[in-house]
Amino acid sequence: MEQIPAIRIRDLVKRYAPAGKGEGKLALSGVSFDVPRGQVFGLLGPNGAGKSTLINTLAGLVMKTSGAIEIWGHDIDRDRRNAKASIGIVPQEVVFDPFFTPLEVLEMQAGLYGVPKAQRRSMELLEAVHLGDKAHAYARSLSGGMRRRLLIAKAMVHTPPVLVLDEPTAGVDVELRRQLWDLVRELNAGGVTVVLTTHYLEEAEELCDRIAIINHGRLIANKPTRELVGMAREKVIVLTLDQPIDAAPQHDLFRGSALTGERQIEISYDKDTTNAGQIMALVQGLGWGIVDVTTREADLEDVFVSLTSAQGAGGDRMSGLPAES
């Protein structure tokens, strides 16, 4: 029997009412995808792509124009109560009453969800996000990173199987970002399905099992992370030569060629049709010796730029590749 996905979205459309004449802004245009249970699922897209509208629709803060959404098998229209109970949302903005302690914040949130006192696990959640020693401190005394972790605990008071993190590491330093990455992994290892929106592509590549990309309100990719990164066909080779040169060499096999130092050139090529040995042979054939070689594989950022640029130029997908697999 096929497992029901954590989130199922079908033909989701959201058109905001017009401010004046016209049809209004189309924020989401027929978006369809599944979030498999037990995964860390990345939702990426440039500013204005429709990510926030989609997240707010899942949270019940935005009413969809048409389409269907199920959260843990519960339709958000026909079974709103259970759908809302199945998801926790961690907003990008750090907002809570600064005059309550973290323990009080969680107790109040649990009360709003109707969690009986005997079933509340406020201290357990604070320990899980490494805030146990701050349980009775005023929330306003917490650092920025602590406040973000408190928001995660707040979203988990009703024990939802799905957790949505909207830009959880925006504006935080590198050390705190790594701490939050570890927390996401811990939650996922504990059985929570995590949906992560982020502008940090290395973060998505590091954490996510699968990634969907939205641009201009449309889904333009939905693939396992490794497969998505594998879509990038470009590879870069940096060659240090045995003598200074005035200009970078050009050839039909090169996608690009640039002089990056007095004796250093950077050449990009299609790894599906060319290999590093061919590039080096071409350079040596021009009479130059090679004293050092480094290569760089394309990463998620390269794929992201290629996909969003292709759609902006009038195509929905890169090189005819399917949006889903």
The C-alpha atoms of residue 298 and residue 185 are separated, in whole angstroms, by: 25
Tens digit of pLDDT for each residue in 234-287? 788 999 999 999 999 999 999 889 999 999 999 988 888 889 999 999 999 999
Closest by alpha carbon to 221, among 38, 7, 44?
44
Phi/psi of residue 293, each to 5°?
A: -135, 135
- Asked if 172 contacts 145 with a C-beta cutoff of 8 angstroms, the reply is yes
State pLDDT tens for residues 73-101: 999 999 999 999 999 999 888 777 788 99
pLDDT in tens, 213-234: 999 999 999 999 988 877 767 7
**Domains and their CATH numbers in the chain:** 1-86+160-175+186-227+300-325 (3.40.50.300), 98-159 (no CATH), 233-297 (3.30.70.1560)
Least confident of 135-139, 143-147, 197-201, 319-323: 319-323
What are the respective helix, strand and coil percentages of the chain, to the nearest 5? 35, 25, 40
pLDDT-derived band at 310, boundaries 50, 70, 90: low
Structure confidence by residue, pLDDT tens digits, 180-211? 899 899 999 999 999 999 888 888 989 999 99
Helix (H) / strand (E) containing 9 = strand 7-15
Q: From the centroid of its chain, how far is CA 69?
A: 20
